[in-house]
Amino acid sequence: MTTSDAHAAQIRVLIADDQELVRYGLRLVLEAEDDIQVVGEASDGASAVDAAIALGPDVILMDVRMPGKDGIEATQDLTARLPRTRVLVLTTYDLDEFAFGALQAGAAGFLLKNTRPIELVAAIRTVATGDAVVAPRITSKLIEVALPHLAPRTRAQDHALSVLTDRERDVFVHVGRGLTNDEIARALHLSESTVKAHFGRILMKLDLPHRVQAVILAYELGIVRPAGQ
């Protein structure tokens, strides 16, 4: 691979966090990777939006609790204005309604701030390819905590499900329950590649960006309920 090819393959990352020490630590971790380039930093949501529009990063590491425009507002703004830019939420607690709000706003997932460097790098590479990094079970746990805040189902959403085939609906339900593609394949006696194909069509038909939003929609529609309900 030529130098220009390697540069072209780099994942461009913007770091948004109000703590300078956190930004510095993240930059050190990421700049040690040949395929990741930190293109900028922001200390609040408003400057994160401005920087993202100016720099066009592939991935934004977004702290949810920042002064002024917080990470949720910034995420909602960015996913509307820069749909190809993926937002990874940074949070201190795994059960954090702020993190859940960012997922609803369109973030590709969330990471704990104590995530190991190897996991952080892997997560960035994953979302850069268009996938989500939140483990479905963790997403489900977040949704259960924030369930009272979910928007009520609408006729439009109910109609959207009617476009799914029976098999696609089966896959959708299992995704909502937090199963991985491999687990769904075993549950439905399908190959993993077939499950991936079904899920790809589900995302397309329901106009969803990734798995996290599919899990959220499954809860919003009431086809999946928290344990004990």
pLDDT value at position 55? 96
Distance CA 54, CA 221 (A): 37
Name the fold adopted by 3-134: Rossmann fold (3.40.50)
The answer, yes or no, to whether residue 1 has pLDDT greater than 50, is no
Give the mean model confidence (pLDDT) for residues 180-184.
Answer: 84
The answer, yes or no, to whether residue 157 has pLDDT greater than 90, is no
Q: Which CATH number fits domain 146-220: 3.40.50.970, 3.40.50.1820, 1.10.10.10, 2.40.30.60?
A: 1.10.10.10
Three-state SS at 30: helix
| Residue 218 CB neighbour total at 10 angstroms | 22
Do 3-134 and 146-220 agree at the fold level? no
Element (H, E) at 122: helix 117-128
Exposed/middle/buried for 129, CB within 10 Å: 0-12, 13-18, 19+?
exposed
Of the candidate ranges 27-31, 40-44, 131-135, 195-199, the one whose mean pLDDT is the lowest: 131-135
Give the mean model confidence (pLDDT) for residues 32-37.
Answer: 95
The answer, yes or no, to whether residue 57 has pLDDT greater than 80, is yes
The answer, yes or no, to whether residue 156 has pLDDT greater than 70, is no
Domain ranges across the chain: 3-134, 146-220
| pLDDT single digits (tens) 78-115 | 988 998 899 998 877 655 566 667 777 888 877 888 88
Distance CA 184, CA 174 (A): 6
